[in-house]
Chains A and B, each alone.
Chain A
Amino acid sequence: MTTVRIAHAEPRPGRLANGGFVTHGHLVVLADDAGHRAVPIWMRGEPGESDLSKLLEIAARPPGEIAMADAPEELTVRLLRAAGASVTGVDIDVTEADTAEPRTAEPASGA
């Protein structure tokens, strides 16, 4: 596996001028810094419909700043923390044609 960095995520095609509609899709760019290459992934559908760009924005904030994630994943993280567990990694692989499936690593119990 190649370790990548989530370099960029943005809603695509994006919001309309009135802000009322969004197309539940994200362009995510995974960067392989060591290999000087990047892979773009188009994400669409459930689960993973949350605003990834918002999650990334929150993740980039300094520690201690209030996290205001408007996404179910924010509660997931808080529940895992309460259970003394943390997600240690996510492997992405292709299981069949046209289907890139993320496999979430086993949460490591910190208890």
Chain B
Amino acid sequence: MSVEISDGDLVRLARDGDQVAFRLLVERHQPTARARARQLCPNPSDVDDIVQESFLRAFIALDRLRDPDRFAGWLAGIVHNVCRGLQRRAPVTLLPDWPEPLHPAAADGLPSAEDLDRADAVRAAVAGLPAGQRRAVALHYYADLPPGQIAESAGAARASLHKARLRLRGYLTEHRPDLVPAGRTHMTTVRIARVERHIPPGPVPIRFPSFVLVLADDAGRRELPIWLVADDGLRLSGLIEPPAGDREPARATQARTEDELTDRLLRAAGASVTGVDIDELGPEVTAARIALTSPAGTQHVTARLAEGVAVAITAIAPVRVADTMMDRLAVPLPGNDRPVPLPDPALALAALSIDHRPRYEPRNLAFADGLDGWLLNGSFAEHASHSHWQDYACAAEGGIAVLSAAVPQPGGFAFLGQEMYADDYRGTVVTFRGEFRTEAAADRAGLFLRVSQDPRGIRGPLTERAALDDPANTIVTIAGDRDWTSHEVTARVPDDANTVMFGMFLAGRGQIELCRAELTRGA
């Protein structure tokens, strides 16, 4: 008798805590998920992240899948959602996983020969079960019958199913050990050693991993480096090394970060994080398993790796990594004080042959598309309770953009500008020029260039004084009422610049207009 385990059965097994079952789901559907991600996402460098994130979310939400037999369609929806939310999040990439995928998809996106081979292995394992257990598996996992209708008692049925699962695991361990993940008891306790910033010069992909989280196995004298994209890297480095003057978060009235707020809420609920385990759910799918004790007992919550590490840092909880991961990915310490050698990100980039970060040339400088691509912001948007957020307005018509005060006494200042990645401007001098006209602008108006190294963009507090004092800003003021007059502002873009922003600003009443805008670069 040959029985193939369906997706639905694997989902049910995985829900019962069977790690092999979910690993099989990953291996079975990874090629299709990868193909779908390639279709939906224009940047090939994001495909690996999308697949990793999709399977992790599927694992987390597995109990909420109404019809386990429709796992494939459900997963496709998750891939779609992850692609949509790509700009906001970034999972990790483990160093040795970069050069080549472990299980490349077939060219047509269908399950690969490897995938089918694994399915055959599982089918053989089920076929080798004793008749009673095979019958229990067939009735429960194929006919979807509850345990009470499988045998004379639900307890007897559950016992048969339990024995069947053990036999399946035993068979696969003996015949296909590559399909059986290591047990969670084989873990290495690590120390969160540091977060290093590694931003290579020159153009890089938009989600290029630019931080390295280093987990130290002090006893084994080895370190596990994990690449993180900027958002995760900044988050963890901020937790490990809080800003000066903010090193006693426990005494602060407000939580500084989302992670600290989470920790406070858990403590208020009488719960504490007792540990975070890092493991793989399947090939190229990493996850953190957060152990939590509370009045409700001990629970485990699965999360993204970076999130799990953030929780561990905030809760001062131990972190453990699966031995299989450590053995495969950790790097031996070369000496007492020498840092772990890291592969050159630029070489990894070349090995991947992925597209570079898209170019961001100035857009819509003639205002032919209204204000598309232009950004209205400024200190007027800072106030929480005074609600100055309507004090300034902007519009574009007939090739002219207007930034104006909307009330007699506006609060703060406003700017209308464009922000671009600095990739194509590093090492050059950029000039922003245009024709400007001010009207009743008795206060301050003008044009500016902002060249920033901070990948997070503008951060508060944003005040006029702070803007004037910020060395990243080069500002030219236009005083009084003027007819159309040409003005320009110039700044050098250093090699480590991340963004270039240009535009016009207004502080106070009146208005300023702009036409014939252009941004040029020179040596």
Contact = CB atoms under 8 A, between A and B. Distances in A.
A20 B294 contact: no
B490 interface: no
Interface in B270-322: 270-271, 273, 290, 292, 294-297, 299-301, 303, 307, 310-311
A109 B269 contact: yes
A43 B460 CA distance: 12
Contacts of A21: 375, 419, 457
A73 to B, nearest CB: 6
A33 interface: no
A108 B295 CA distance: 11
A84 B294 contact: yes
A17 interface: yes
A82 B385 contact: no
Contact of B389 (A27, A70, A71, A104): A27
Interface string B71-85: 000100110011001
Interface string A43-70: 1111101110010000000001011101
Nearest to A104: B265
Contacts, number: 178
Contact of B271 (A43, A45, A85): A85
Contacts of A51: 88
B372 A75 contact: no
A23 B459 CA distance: 9
B381 interface: yes
Interface string B25-47: 00000000000000000000000
Contacts of B269: 80, 83-85, 107-109
Contact of A18 (B258, B360, B385, B460): B360
Range of interface residues on B (Cβ < 8 Å): 35 or more
Range of interface residues on A (Cβ < 8 Å): 35 or more
Nearest to B292: A82
A79 B383 CA distance: 32
B382 interface: yes
B262 A76 contact: yes
Interface in B246-271: 253-262, 264-266, 268-271
Contacts of B373: 16-18
Given A16-B419, A51-B88, A107 B375 contact: no
Contacts of B271: 79-80, 82-83, 85
Contacts of A110: 296
Contact of A66 (B61, B265, B460): B61
B473 interface: no
Given A80-B266, A82-B294, A17 B372 contact: yes
A100 interface: yes
A111 B385 CA distance: 38
A1 B366 CA distance: 50
Contacts of B254: 47, 101
B292 A42 contact: no
B363 interface: yes
A47 B254 CA distance: 9
Contact of B258 (A22, A47, A64): A47
A46 B249 CA distance: 14
A108 B294 CA distance: 12
A73 B88 CA distance: 14
Given A68-B81, A82-B294, A75 B262 contact: yes
Contact of A68 (B85, B256, B381, B418): B85
A68 B74 CA distance: 13
Contacts of A76: 258, 261-262, 265
Contacts of B387: 40-42
17 contacts: A13-B381, A16-B419, A17-B372, A18-B363, A23-B458, A44-B460, A54-B85, A64-B64, A64-B66, A72-B259, A82-B292, A84-B269, A98-B383, A98-B385, A98-B386, A107-B268, A111-B295
Interface of B: 57, 60-61, 64, 66, 74, 77-78, 81-82, 85, 87-89, 206, 253-262, 264-266, 268-271, 273, 290, 292, 294-297, 299-301, 303, 307, 310-311, 358, 360, 363-364, 372-377, 381-387, 389, 418-419, 421, 457-458, 460
Given A20-B360, A42-B389, A66-B74, 4 more contacts: A42-B382, A70-B88, A76-B261, A111-B295
